[in-house]
Amino acid sequence: MRTAILTDTNSGISLEKAEELGIFIIPMPVVIGEDTYLEYKSITHDDLYRAMRRHLDISSSQPSPGFVTDLWSSILASGYDEIVYIPMSSGLSGSCHNAAALAEDYGGRVYVADNHRISVTLETSVLDAKYMADCGLTGREIKDRLERHAYDASIYISVDSLEYLKKGGRITPAAAAFATVINLKPVLTIQGDKLDSFAKMRGMKLCEKKMIEALQNDIRTRFSDIPHGQLVVATAGTFENPADAKSWRQAVQDAFPDYDIRYSPLSCSIACHTGINAAGAGVVRVEKR
């Protein structure tokens, strides 16, 4: 059996990286004004951040059903027996449920795994899936294992500006205005299905400290039964200045000296909701190598 692994750019995996890893990737659509762009194909992070500085109307979108099924058919026609598709969490988008419905027409050759992740935790799932495929597991076995361990992950994210959370309806204009006046920043969390409020702090530095404390607590409690070697701690963000991204990664590295901390830019479709200069971090269980 040849099993292809497919995800979308919400994983933070670029088209070039996907080719290097031997996986397939769907570029997520980003809408600016009346124009639609595809991540890593017709829009970059810098393009998006410039549009945000101009306060343009920006939103994310789902890949079209035709695009998804054409890609599936192309992958299967190229010699693969089956596909494991790992989109972003069903709790954050309807794309997972839509894909599962489309897969019913493929006679059991396309498995849509909903393991409730996004960004750095979704990337880990994709790498795990590729490892399992290389080890000879079937698409059904990979899907089942990913979903069985779906909730072995935590994400925390803090946003510097409330503009796009307000535009997306996640916070009221009045609450956004009040928080801006007193420099109150939200810390949000994803513990599986959806984005929830976790804390509110005065300024980004305190938010970063709070996120580090939350990760440390998760490792001590929720993930206490998972061996150290099967946990990954990673950072992400939408920093305009590379030095700020480096500083955030280093702060987390200093707090977790026994882990090799990496940094990845949040995908453009996630950045549509977080705005510029957001900081995020996560801890996730990885497949035993």
Q: 């701690």: which residue's tokens?
A: 233
- State the pLDDT at residue 96: 85
- State the pLDDT at residue 176: 47
240-285 per-position pLDDT tens digit: 999 999 999 999 999 999 999 999 999 999 999 889 999 999 999 9
- State the pLDDT at residue 42: 95
Q: Is the pLDDT of residue 126 over 50?
A: yes
CA 201, CA 79: separation in Å to the nearest integer?
52
59: tokens are 């939103």
- State the pLDDT at residue 166: 64
Average pLDDT, integer, range 136-141: 96
Parallel, antiparallel, or unpaired: how do β-strands 279-285 and 231-237 relate? Answer: antiparallel
- State the pLDDT at residue 34: 92
- State the pLDDT at residue 199: 86
- State the pLDDT at residue 168: 61
161-205 per-position pLDDT tens digit: 777 666 665 555 545 454 554 567 888 888 876 778 888 898 899
- Residue 61: Cβ-neighbour burial (10 angstroms; 0-12, 13-18, 19+): middle
Average pLDDT, integer, range 6-26: 95
Sheet hosting strand 153-158, strand order edge to edge: 195-202, 184-190, 153-158, 279-285, 231-237, 262-265
For residues 56 and 65, the answer to whether their CB atoms sit within 8 Å is no
Q: Is the pLDDT of residue 91 over 60?
A: yes
- State the pLDDT at residue 93: 74
Please indicate whether residue 41 or residue 196 has the higher confidence score (pLDDT).
41
- State the pLDDT at residue 171: 56
- Per the prediction, the chain carries an average pLDDT of 90
- State the pLDDT at residue 255: 97
Query: Coil, strand or helix: which one is 154?
Result: strand
Query: Beta strands of 28-133 (E only): which ranges?
Result: 29-32, 35-38, 58-60, 82-86, 110-112
pTM score over 0.75: yes
Average pLDDT, integer, range 223-233: 94
Average pLDDT, integer, range 64-79: 96
- State the pLDDT at residue 178: 44
Query: Of all residues in the chain, what percent carry a pLDDT higher than 90?
Result: 74
